[in-house]
Structure 1
Amino acid sequence: MEENKKKVIHRLRRTEGQIRGIQKMIEDEKECIDVITQLSAVRSSIDRVMGMIVAENLKNCFVSPDDDPEEQEKKLTQAINMIIKK
Structure 2
Amino acid sequence: MSDHANHPELIPGYIDNKDAVLKRLRRVEGQVRGLQRMVEQDTYCIDILTQVSAATKALEAVALGLLDDHLRHCLAHAASDPVDLDEKVTEASAAIARLVRS
Question: Under TM normalisation by the shorter chain, which class is it?
Answer: 0.7 to 0.9
Cα pair 1:15 1:42 within 8 Å, conserved: yes
Q: Does 1:69 align with 2:86?
A: no
Contact 2:78 2:84 in 1 (8 A): no
Pairing partner for 2:65 from 52, 56, 63:
52
Hey, what does 2:35 align to over in structure 1?
22
What is the identity, as a one-letter code, of the residue corresponding to 2:23?
H
User: Any stretches of 5+ residues in structure 2 without a counterpart?
Assistant: 1-13
Equivalent residue for 1:12, pick from 9, 20, 25: 25
Identity %: 36
Do the aligned residues in 2 keep the contact of 1:66 with 1:72 (CA within 8 Å)? yes
Runs of 4+ in 1 over 4 A off after TM superposition: none
Query: Hey, what's the Cα distance between the residues in 2 that align with 1:13 and 1:42?
Result: 11
Taking the aligned partners of 2:64 and 2:47, their CA distance within structure 1 comes to: 26
Say yes or no: does 1:36 pair with 2:53. Answer: no
Aligned length: 86
1:80 is aligned to: 93
- SS of match in other structure, 1:30: coil
Task: Quote the Cα distance in structure 1 between the aligned partners of 2:74 and 2:95.
Answer: 15
Which is further off, 59-68 or 32-41? 59-68
- Match of 2:42, SS state, is coil
State the Cα RMSD in Å: 1.8
